[in-house]
Structure 1
Amino acid sequence: MDNNNSNKAVPHSKRIANTDTDQYYQSEQSLQQHVDHSLAHQEIETPFHFRHCCWFCQEPSQLRLLFPSTQQRLIDCPHQPISVPICRECKSLANTSQAVDIYRCREQIKKALAKRYQKHLAIGKNWTKQELENAGFEGGNFEGFAKSGWAMFEIARDRVNFSGWPVWCNGEQIEDTTLGKQFVFDGVTYSDLNQAVDFYVKTFNLHKDFLLECINIVGVERFGYAIRYARLYIGYTAEARREILKDLSAQERSN
């Protein structure tokens, strides 16, 4: 009974988005790194308002990530060994990362989070907040989705979008090696254009090569138009898609 009461006492505002994943229930031992402690990892400087936040996704941080973990990995790492605040879920993802620096590690974690929460992020592409509120799901099987769906989307979006804070350690700033690679569209930050393409291909069941050709024709700056155009021709044959692309190319040349 005490356990039930303690669960009810946890407010939704805590936003522990990973409570429905296996990683959240992993033991502390399973999340331990194999670390060469002779590296003497130094804690990064953390702004006061982020003092309890995961550097990777802004969820409450319970652990520290020691990066790089070994002398061998330090050979290719361009910065000193550092200790970074991290949540349990991101730690489980970071433990499998082979990134050479902390920013590329973050990039890999962001991609993994976006893949894991694909369905949550897709809510914001298929619905608006108002549409969900007025969907008329009361009393039906989708009542819970209507109530929590938008919050699920916002939590996933905010975790993927969070860019951390500048990394300073011992008075030295560590350069962001991923700066300029990100692709932002419709309020969501993707690690790069390819990740955005993969997301929309899966969300709308699009033909990937067809979407890529549409983007090549209309330009990356009209990414939204390319998606809308590709959605018009879902299920078309390869021959039909080739003719459609010819028409689109001719249309663009004439504009």
Structure 2
Amino acid sequence: MNYEPIDIPFNHRHTCWLCGEPSAQMLDIPARATNTKIFNHEPISVPICAECQSFPVQPNCSSIWQHKDYVKQRLMKVYAKHLGIGLNWTKQELADADFEGRIFEGFSRSAWMMYEIANERVRYVGWDLMIAGSAIGYDDSAGFEYDGVQFASQEACMNYYCAAQGLNTTLFEAVLNIVGYSRFSYALKISQINRKARHFEVVRIIDEIEQQELDSQEIQADKSAHENHYKLEPIDMGEAMAETQAIEWALENDIRTLEQINLAEDDFFDAFAYLGGVQAFQFYNGLQLYLAARADDAWIQKFDLNRDTWK
């Protein structure tokens, strides 16, 4: 195959395009002629360091970006302990730590430097890929990005945090299955808080989160049903506003007249106690004025924006 060398900016000469380390070799990709059928761009050569070169291109690889995600994952696995330093400590905490013994004192001095080197490699982006001034289109069809780092997959991201921070994989995976990867930060936080949880505690936590999600879904479904059913508008009664929440409460409790709301005064204030006394009274006063005005059909036709809902 004819591998086209990518354009290398002067300040990046002898730099690995995958991780930013010094390079002395070139990676030809795809590795085999048969792989060109699934590749998203022409065969190219990119500068690469010895360690990144040691990670072979996978048979199902379809682009240099997919291979880059794979290499990053391998690097994160190799340097999980180094990367874990930055996830579990701050630079100042390490400096202030009172380590005793020659080994631990050496760790205190070099740990943050090891973390920074490893972190820079996995976060390295590289320069824009071009051949003779023409850009190679970026392929974003694969991988999973979190906290500015591109992972080979969602599972790879989870496994990285489990290895770097000693998290419970069973708990992490179960929470993600419940809430989805769109709430990865939430699942990570739960796993960090409960990293030392015993088996029965893990089971209890999973059950609680599952129940919370079911309750949340039911609340959201009820809210959507109300929003779809009641197309309410707040009504300015001059002395007070008839708020939509108060009108909705009246509709749901089949309260249509001033006499009925006066009889249900205690129930109303119980329902809106969370607002506090002053605001709950404003809601109640506005609803009283509104229901009193609704005794006049002419007022309803002229001023009541919610007249169709009451029907």
TM score, norm. by length of structure 2: 0.61
Residue 278 (structure 2) aligns with: none
The CA deviation string for residues 93-123 of structure 1, in whole angstroms up to 9 with x for no partner, is: 1x35332321111111111111111111111
Q: Give the Å deviation of 1:40.
A: 2.5
CA RMSD of aligned residues (A): 2.5
115-124 or 61-70: which moved more?
A: 61-70
1:62 corresponds in structure 2 to 24
Q: Secondary structure at 2:103's aligned position in 1?
A: coil
Q: What code does the residue aligned with 1:40 have?
A: N
C-alpha distance in structure 2 between counterparts of 1:217 and 1:41, whole Å: 46
Does residue 116 of structure 1 match 2:64? no
Shift of 1:131: 1.0
Matched, 1:209 2:170: yes
Pairs aligned (count): 214
Report the AA paired with residue 35 of structure 2. R
| In structure 1, C-alpha distance between the alignment counterparts of 2:195 and 2:64, rounded to whole Å | 41
From 46, 51, 62, the equivalent of 1:100 is 62
Partner of 1:175: 137
**Preserved CA contact (<8 Å) 2:6 2:46:** yes
Where in structure 2 are there 5+ consecutive unaligned residues? Answer: 220-311
- Is the partner of 2:102 in helix, strand or coil? coil
Distance 1:164 1:182, change over 3 A: farther
- Name the amino acid aligned to 1:194: E
Alpha-carbon contact 2:57-2:67 (below 8 Å) kept: no
Structure with higher Rg: it is 2
| SS class of match (2:208) | helix
Q: Take 2:42 and 2:185, find their aligned partners in 1: how far apart are those partners?
A: 41
Aligned to 2:105: 143
Distance 1:96 1:80, change over 3 A: closer
Corresponding residue SS for 1:65: strand
The structure that is helix-richer by fraction is: 2
TM-score normalised to the size of structure 1?
Answer: 0.73
Give the superposition deviation at 1:133: 0.9
**Residue of structure 1 in register with 2:127 after alignment:** 165
In the other structure, the counterpart of 1:227 is: 188
The question of 1:193 aligning with 2:172 is answered: no
CA distance in structure 1 between the aligned counterparts of 2:185 and 2:62, rounded to whole angstroms: 33
Q: Distance in 2 between matches of 1:183 and 1:50?
A: 25
CA distance in structure 1 between the partners assigned to 2:40 and 2:188 by the alignment? 38
> Would you identify which runs of 4 or more consecutive aligned residues in structure 1 move more than 6 Å?
none
Q: Distance in 1 between matches of 2:84 and 2:180?
A: 23
Specify the alignment match of 1:26 in structure 2.
Answer: none
- Distance (Å, rounded) in 1 between the aligned partners of 2:211 and 2:15: 51
Against the structure 1 CA distance between its residues 144 and 120, is the aligned structure 2 distance closer, same or farther, given a 3 Å change threshold?
Answer: same
Indicate yes or no: 2:91 matched with 1:129. Answer: yes
Identity fraction in percent:
36
